[in-house]
Structure 1
């Protein structure tokens, strides 16, 4: 089937002053009530109070008591409430009908559920259970992600489920598992304040996680030195103490070079290494080859800066290292993340106040969304789907035979390869927009059109859903309740503010309606998210991600609970109803169910693992034909694929169109002036955008934000290379060439203001 054509302008022209229904009607905008909840966007999950009148969110108030953000919000958080009244909101199910102007026609909800169930049943009867794939989202509540994993494995009995966190956190997760045996930020963000050094690697915190910037600034005011590693002088780098302008794709080499100098100068904690780690000698041997001169040559970072970074980090008494997609979105992403962990372990500064390590989570539930079963190789509680003991535990909770739980599936991108090959015939997606967010997305679009049946669950008809045969109207965050786990590992509660409008349904209700329509209701008779969470608590008990001691009441009483939180003491087995959670991992004397008192790290011997973090040149590296690096990322007013933020007028006005950031030296060489149309071309395609000439980027690198669709989509250019361990795509580097465009692109004429 072909996609329903859509011009981004079709949505963009609806932007403008966005007024709520009550404002348009001229009625009072005073709220009936305030609902304490959280922002729907990034992994910081800032506390916010939504102003509600009738069944509409009409504004917000700061929630100053919530400990993470203390009332502060970024531009997206301030304007997030505006999407609820958008005219694009799906109020009914829609079925593909090319005879209609919009390509779809409304369909009663019950008929739509029956139609979807019939098509799923038809495909599975003809081709087997594995003919259906499921794609979830890391912005869903943990209750929904748990239920989605259960739905795929119990109701559909398919191994093919994965999620868009595959594009976000998996390189860090794999590295954490290899090094620590557990995948979570080690310390609360408050531990940054009072530390001596903060190293930020590959994270544009000021635009992508602005409230984190406040913690960095507080630390700086108390004397902390700030190191920033990035190909661009991001806003946080403009006032840092040391900027490391690393060449894209060379991060592992930089970490190896810094560790080389730490070892050479004796800036390591040999007592900690001997007592609490294994594998150091192999890492030291590997780093021996990365002399300062070689490291500078490979990375493009001056040798004096490499030496300064090693001295600042190596001689500090306390430190905090943060990284994000800048070092993770690589075909070498796991190795890059392991390189940071080696620096942390070698310093011996972990498991204590004011010294931490963490990954800055991108999506609303990027942490919780990967812990409880929608990942292709995982069962709830961060259990391994290939481990017989783990499978037996989950089977007992679900009331099924362990043999009936499918084995591991494949990553999200590999699912599209299987669709392209005809192995997966049908697809169910929820809150995932892969046509925009996956690399080489022209291939993704072609694969979507090969599906025999595709049903999307979402609250807007996003770019991917336009390929669907059926779209079921799901719920906004404020229309349901549940939990998410934010960047620090703090489990928090989303509170329902309004009901779903029209025939829209809460997502977990839709899944259960599908299960009943399929005649497979076993395990899908929950009456509330609380009931789902209570089953999740039992399922996670004894796992690494143990939520068994967490309740909705405890979350609200404590304003969040850090996992692991035990219902029973893992050492004595006695009930511990008042276990407060674990704000700081690996503290000396801490107990965990894996090490059982042998040490603080989550391996049987209680010791952390050094891992050789091998440097490899990126796939699709620069060449004579394509001499420049293309890197991609976010801007402050937009989020992910833009399906939400491109519908919020003030955010669109702040950054209405993507630009090609280019250094003045390169722009002069190519004859490109600021504001000119420029064409970027890679081995997969070309796009034409206006140039933004800036001094804050390497002269051999260009940057394009990825939030836009169609002819403005940066992921038309990116390469589908993946890390061999995490399967994360290599968004942050591919070879390109740039030229001044001969004229404006076709879409530009349609963007001119209407007379």
Structure 2
């Protein structure tokens, strides 16, 4: 018997044919000719660098084919496996189809179907009860990068600001490095790869597994190498891009900062620094030079395990050629991540790699826009005119579970979660599950029945990104394509912005959520008049972001957005914060051991001697796609990569089933892959595995927010927010474990 799906009176519906690039287009599928009703231009908003341009084919309001947009200036018609797999994902019969209310215990995954009106009434009742008993700060949202599109985040923030709810700050992956960049450079721009690939002599690639997360950089790397440029890759294990390197540096996990300081030492000792750039465009060189005096090649090798000859070779290449810096996220996922990124920025400055076509320092961009939030007019949406917006409690996103367990005035009692896996993606899964169980209200907006839904009180059916509006600027290149709905949502799925609009109306904020406002209206509010939205909407686009937001050659004018207007090798911002909070905010990029390591915690390392790194696989974005049959068939069962030495010591052979464990948890039935991919003392697991489908690596990781956490963050609560100091990132990689054969 077919399920009946109910109309939703407050849902916005419109004719989507206006976005067609072409209509009545023949397509060959499975050897048969099919006529697609329309083709729509959009882009992929998942959390990777490339933001690929897509052409989506629709028939009878269903996606039948996805291919790359050949006219996109950067991605040029090529998609990854995940992009193609969206055909299966959006059409999956396993999607959440309607609102469901829990009827069993949390964790049992037992629900009953309810209507949208009942779901809205239930949320209003729960939120109101929590507000009356504890206050509005007892409620908060959890939202991250399942769909990295930013418009819905702004609309939801509008509601939370009106309510006075607690707010999330920080990041799982990038703001530790952003803190390092902001304190050194004052901004975060990226130079388009088409420029540096034609002019640089050396590419320095740190902490970025391009094969899985940034595949469209390859043509630009190959172009640079064709011209004779050298490629230096820094990564503890042998990635695909490392196999293309002229020099592969494999540091002990968490010691990239020490490596950078060692290179700076050698450059200064041998008088190889860019004296003109340092004199005109930096402050604090003497303090930096004093800091690196101890970082001889021998000492650097001792700390990093990189042979001193390789450290010297890399330092001389960077200092004596036109070098370009591409830094990723890997080096940020340690408790010392902010200082690592500062050290890399200082290394680039010593080499003079700023403001030149032949080389620049690319961290992460400002999402293609001019400030840390990513948008010129973010507050137009989040802080509506005429409303009283109060500064409320700030929760560190990488320590939500700690905040739920420890916050008292008021306690956290209600969470609405969307676009993120609170349970599978937070460090220390078991600790997080216990925190979620203590809530009075846990609502998830999901496409599938995930780890989160099993513990939810209410599950709401989410739209696929192809079914809703959005804006997702790349954090690697500077081209933008507005996301539009290519087809109508199926079942009773509702776009995220419409869920929060309707909830806001029912909570009494009708005038701030007018029914006539569209997704494109919100996008125009976010980016203002500086960017032509219509030019980026299908059938148009993509467009390059305005030059004043994304300079073609960043820092070409020699101006930096720091208090001094220069690259701050000695950070005045860090100095000021250190004085205020009476803590060690190290104005120079001093090296600290990761929170867990063989040197920082030697007794723990005797018990758990292996450092686990959880890389992002090419097959999924965090936990997304893990449940799809196409992906599972290609990816196969969960694997752990380990060295021959570590395997032999434990009697483990390639293909054996193993158990990985520490005091926080364990993973079982993982297949050992023994070889040279990782160095001794290191193992590699892919991130994003579901707890209920084999076990998440975050059953092993600890609650160690990276950044100035000891001073600015206590019990998961931020004492104060500073736009340049929001450096609290999940430090997933400083995790010690052991392995045994099952």
Structure 1 length as normaliser, TM-score? 0.83
- Structure-1 residue corresponding to 2:452: 464
- Structure-2 residue corresponding to 1:414: 399
Describe the SS at the equivalent of 1:679.
strand
Q: Distance between the aligned counterparts of 2:459 and 2:270, measured in 1?
A: 61
CA deviation vs aligned residue, 1:519-572 (integer Å, no higher than 9, x gap): 12232226211211222235xxxxxxxxx4012124356623335757xxxxxx
- Structure-1 residue corresponding to 2:114: 107
Following TM superposition, by how much is the alpha carbon of 1:103 offset from its aligned partner in structure 2, in angstroms? 0.6
Q: Distance between the aligned counterparts of 2:424 and 2:370, measured in 1?
A: 20
Determine if the alignment matches structure 1 residue 308 to structure 2 residue 308: no
Residue 188 to residue 558, structure 1, CA distance change in 2 (3 Å): farther
Match 1:584 to one of 553, 559, 566: 553
Following TM superposition, by how much is the alpha carbon of 1:452 offset from its aligned partner in structure 2, in angstroms? 0.3
- Structure-2 residue corresponding to 1:356: 360
Residue 521 to residue 180, structure 1, CA distance change in 2 (3 Å): farther
Residue 513 to residue 629, structure 1, CA distance change in 2 (3 Å): same
- Structure-2 residue corresponding to 1:147: 155
- Structure-2 residue corresponding to 1:592: none
- Structure-1 residue corresponding to 2:732: 731
- Structure-2 residue corresponding to 1:430: 418
- Structure-2 residue corresponding to 1:673: 653
Following TM superposition, by how much is the alpha carbon of 1:724 offset from its aligned partner in structure 2, in angstroms? 3.2
Describe the SS at the equivalent of 1:271.
helix
Match 1:686 to one of 645, 666, 680: 666
Determine if the alignment matches structure 1 residue 549 to structure 2 residue 527: no
Describe the SS at the equivalent of 1:464.
helix
Describe the SS at the equivalent of 1:288.
helix
Residue 414 to residue 219, structure 1, CA distance change in 2 (3 Å): same
- Structure-2 residue corresponding to 1:121: 128
Tell me, yes or no, if the aligned pair for 2:399 and 2:703 is still in contact at 8 Å: no
Tell me, yes or no, if the aligned pair for 2:398 and 2:705 is still in contact at 8 Å: no
- Structure-1 residue corresponding to 2:427: 439
Determine if the alignment matches structure 1 residue 136 to structure 2 residue 143: yes
Q: Distance between the aligned counterparts of 2:235 and 2:327, measured in 1?
A: 10
Residue 677 to residue 394, structure 1, CA distance change in 2 (3 Å): closer
Tell me, yes or no, if the aligned pair for 1:620 and 1:719 is still in contact at 8 Å: no
Tell me, yes or no, if the aligned pair for 1:257 and 1:292 is still in contact at 8 Å: yes
Q: Distance between the aligned counterparts of 1:564 and 1:369, measured in 2?
A: 10
Residue 315 to residue 565, structure 1, CA distance change in 2 (3 Å): closer
Tell me, yes or no, if the aligned pair for 1:722 and 1:729 is still in contact at 8 Å: yes
Q: Distance between the aligned counterparts of 2:678 and 2:614, measured in 1?
A: 12
Q: Distance between the aligned counterparts of 1:407 and 1:587, measured in 2?
A: 39
- Structure-1 residue corresponding to 2:680: 699
Q: Distance between the aligned counterparts of 1:247 and 1:400, measured in 2?
A: 51
- Structure-2 residue corresponding to 1:285: 290
Tell me, yes or no, if the aligned pair for 1:491 and 1:561 is still in contact at 8 Å: yes
Describe the SS at the equivalent of 1:30.
strand
User: 27-36 or 441-450: which moved more?
Assistant: 27-36
Tell me, yes or no, if the aligned pair for 1:168 and 1:366 is still in contact at 8 Å: no
Residue 465 to residue 192, structure 1, CA distance change in 2 (3 Å): farther
Tell me, yes or no, if the aligned pair for 2:430 and 2:665 is still in contact at 8 Å: no
- Root-mean-square deviation (CA), in Å? 2.7
Describe the SS at the equivalent of 1:494.
coil
Match 2:610 to one of 605, 628, 636: 628
Following TM superposition, by how much is the alpha carbon of 1:210 offset from its aligned partner in structure 2, in angstroms? 1.3
- Structure-2 residue corresponding to 1:545: none
User: 477-486 or 519-528: which moved more?
Assistant: 519-528
Describe the SS at the equivalent of 1:429.
strand
Alignment of 1:203-352 (within 5 A): 203-317=208-322, 319-352=323-356
Residue 179 to residue 492, structure 1, CA distance change in 2 (3 Å): farther
Q: Distance between the aligned counterparts of 2:455 and 2:470, measured in 1?
A: 30
Match 1:514 to one of 495, 499, 503: 503
Residue 730 to residue 692, structure 1, CA distance change in 2 (3 Å): same
Residue 271 to residue 214, structure 1, CA distance change in 2 (3 Å): same
Following TM superposition, by how much is the alpha carbon of 1:465 offset from its aligned partner in structure 2, in angstroms? 2.4
Determine if the alignment matches structure 1 residue 740 to structure 2 residue 741: yes
Determine if the alignment matches structure 1 residue 659 to structure 2 residue 665: no
- Structure-2 residue corresponding to 1:591: none
Following TM superposition, by how much is the alpha carbon of 1:513 offset from its aligned partner in structure 2, in angstroms? 0.4
CA deviation vs aligned residue, 1:701-733 (integer Å, no higher than 9, x gap): 111112212242111011211113322122123
Following TM superposition, by how much is the alpha carbon of 1:344 offset from its aligned partner in structure 2, in angstroms? 1.2
CA deviation vs aligned residue, 1:246-268 (integer Å, no higher than 9, x gap): 00111110000001111112221
CA deviation vs aligned residue, 1:310-345 (integer Å, no higher than 9, x gap): 01101012x221122220101000111111111111
CA deviation vs aligned residue, 1:431-473 (integer Å, no higher than 9, x gap): 1102111111111111111100111122223211221111222
Q: Distance between the aligned counterparts of 2:89 and 2:673, measured in 1?
A: 29
Aligned length: 662
Q: Distance between the aligned counterparts of 1:447 and 1:660, measured in 2?
A: 29
- Structure-1 residue corresponding to 2:524: 534
Determine if the alignment matches structure 1 residue 83 to structure 2 residue 65: no
Mind listing any 5+ residue stretches in structure 2 that lack a counterpart?
Answer: 1-26, 571-587, 599-604, 709-726
Describe the SS at the equivalent of 1:666.
helix
Tell me, yes or no, if the aligned pair for 2:257 and 2:340 is still in contact at 8 Å: yes
Following TM superposition, by how much is the alpha carbon of 1:82 offset from its aligned partner in structure 2, in angstroms? 1.7
Determine if the alignment matches structure 1 residue 31 to structure 2 residue 36: yes
- Structure-2 residue corresponding to 1:499: 488
Following TM superposition, by how much is the alpha carbon of 1:381 offset from its aligned partner in structure 2, in angstroms? 4.2
Match 2:704 to one of 707, 721, 727: 721
Mind listing any 5+ residue stretches in structure 1 that lack a counterpart?
Answer: 1-21, 374-379, 384-390, 539-547, 567-580, 589-598, 742-755
Describe the SS at the equivalent of 1:293.
helix
Q: Distance between the aligned counterparts of 1:647 and 1:729, measured in 2?
A: 24
Following TM superposition, by how much is the alpha carbon of 1:149 offset from its aligned partner in structure 2, in angstroms? 2.0
Describe the SS at the equivalent of 2:181.
helix
CA deviation vs aligned residue, 1:590-643 (integer Å, no higher than 9, x gap): xxxxxxxxx5211354222114211111112232222221111122112202xx
CA deviation vs aligned residue, 1:633-677 (integer Å, no higher than 9, x gap): 122112202xx3123322221212221101112212211111101
Q: Distance between the aligned counterparts of 1:214 and 1:603, measured in 2?
A: 34
Q: Distance between the aligned counterparts of 1:370 and 1:437, measured in 2?
A: 26
Residue 370 to residue 471, structure 1, CA distance change in 2 (3 Å): farther
Structure 2 length as normaliser, TM-score? 0.84
